[in-house]
Amino acid sequence: MRLLVTGGAGFIGSHLVERLLNDGHEVRLLDSFVTGQRSNIDHFEAAEVVEGDIQSFERVHNACRGREVVLHQAALPSVPRSIADPLMTNVVNVTGTLNVLLAARDNGVRRVVYASSSSVYGANLALPKVETLQPRPISPYSVSKLAAEGYCRAFSNVYGLESVVLRYFNIFGPRQNPWSQYSAVVPRFVTAALEGRAPVIFGDGEQSRDFTFVENVVEANVLAMSAPGVAGEVFNIACGGRVTLNRMVRTLSEIVGSGMTPEYGPPRNGDVVHSMADVGHARRLLGYEPRVSFEEGLRRTVAAAAERMPVGMLAR
């Protein structure tokens, strides 16, 4: 199959490109390399790399030419970043997604698989999260992801462009950047554990997330590329459980073999307190099953981070 992966040099995108190449697909990736890393894709000799931003309709249009399916991973992530710069978050996540959908429509692409976020549920406190819940986004980031979902549904209804929306729940794994001020919690905690530093928890640490190893997300995208009868559908992609940040620290301590005492700070604006997915819809229509548990995924993530970390930075 001829595929385009937007954001293909990013954390999730590069894992997806790797799987697609291994499965024998013809893969083109589009990335601006603002948050994506060339080191993530240097070893993908078979992939066609197009440098460009999804803010450019012309660039996206050219990248979509001759593709059958687009796997749209490109985004400007992070709730704190969106609070600091809501305009740029909107431009990339909403206008950028609209560019992708227009380019896909105009080039005769059959299906777009869109990477959305569990953050769209926001202030809706019901657990577990099912796709029929009323979204109540509480940050500019979550608003941008929900708006892009709306465009996906509209293009399915109005133009006949098949769209499938995958709502990711707290994805983690190798290649995730721990150094940005907007980094996700898992890479920051893993790096702190390996360096012997105290991780910083915003809040009391009893907030919980449905942490999902990246391999599970890749599998969901592969299934969503060709599953029949799912145009216009929305799916939760997660493990279907929840882990508190305090429990994560305890698990990390066991994995690295040293005690960790976190530092606690005030809660952050825009963060939800608890999140857990119901993945029954994805099981029924996509055949999705989370293959890697939280604990196993964390072990793999620690091992990969330790390999990439300079020896002098590892805790002794």
List residues with catalytic annotation. 141
- The set of residues, in sequence order, having a beta carbon less than 8 Å from that of 161 and lying 6+ positions away, is 101, 104, 105, 109, 111, 112, 155
Closest by CA to 224, choosing from 236, 214, 211, 207, is: 236
Residue with tokens 């429990």: 247
CA dihedral 42, 46, 52, 54 (to 10 degrees): -110
∠ CA 170-175-177, nearest 5°, is 70
Q: Are 293 and 239 in contact (CB under 8 A)?
A: yes
Q: Give the pairing type, strands 208-209 and 243-244.
A: antiparallel
